[in-house]
Amino acid sequence: MKNIAVLAAVACALSFSACNNSSADKNNDGDTTIGEHLDHSLETTDQNIDELKTDVNNELSDAEKNIEKAQADLDAAVKSGDEKAKEAAQKALDDAKSVWEKTKQGAENLGEKVGDGVNNTVDAVGDKTKEVTQDAKRKAENVKEALKN
């Protein structure tokens, strides 16, 4: 459940950073260039990634603590010879390890998704830059032709 929440937070963070361009105009000339949009998107994405890393590290730390506690409970149950307590402690340890593995896998998947998102953003900006450049060349050619006539 927590992995789903983390992934949803990442999706929201990336969407927000891509759309939140209110302060992207770095030179305050009233015109936001493609480069300024890209810089702003990358900056806000980096901030969101740092926050998500902190959250994931906290989740992993909590999972490790739960494993340690479950292992201590299992050791105590084995020492006491109580079979019911031993079974319950073993189940709790297995569950804690499962949560640890899912959290770790979620963090790895998150890293891949973030990397893909950044790469896609850079590719999209590159495509837009190419389009704008071609449009400018076409307009320059039109002006050149108009001046000849």
Q: What is the structure's pLDDT at 75? A: 92
Mean pLDDT on 113-130: 70
Q: What is the pLDDT of residues 52-61, one digit of tens each?
A: 788 888 888 8
Task: Choose between 65 and 105: higher pLDDT.
Answer: 65
Q: What is the structure's pLDDT at 21? A: 43
**How many angstroms separate the Cα of 51 from the Cα of each of 14, 86, 126?**
12, 39, 27
Confidence of residue 104 (pLDDT cuts 50, 70, 90): confident
Q: What is the pLDDT of residues 16-54, one digit of tens each?
A: 555 444 556 566 666 767 677 777 777 787 787 788 788
Q: What is the pLDDT of residues 65-97, one digit of tens each?
A: 999 999 999 899 899 988 998 899 899 999 998
Q: Strand, helix or coil at 127?
A: helix
**pLDDT exceeds 80 at position 99:** yes
SS3 content of the chain, % helix, strand, coil (to 5): 90, 0, 10
- HSE on the CB side for 2, CA within 13 Å? 19
Task: Choose between 94 and 107: higher pLDDT.
Answer: 94
Q: What is the structure's pLDDT at 20? A: 47
**pLDDT exceeds 60 at position 10:** no
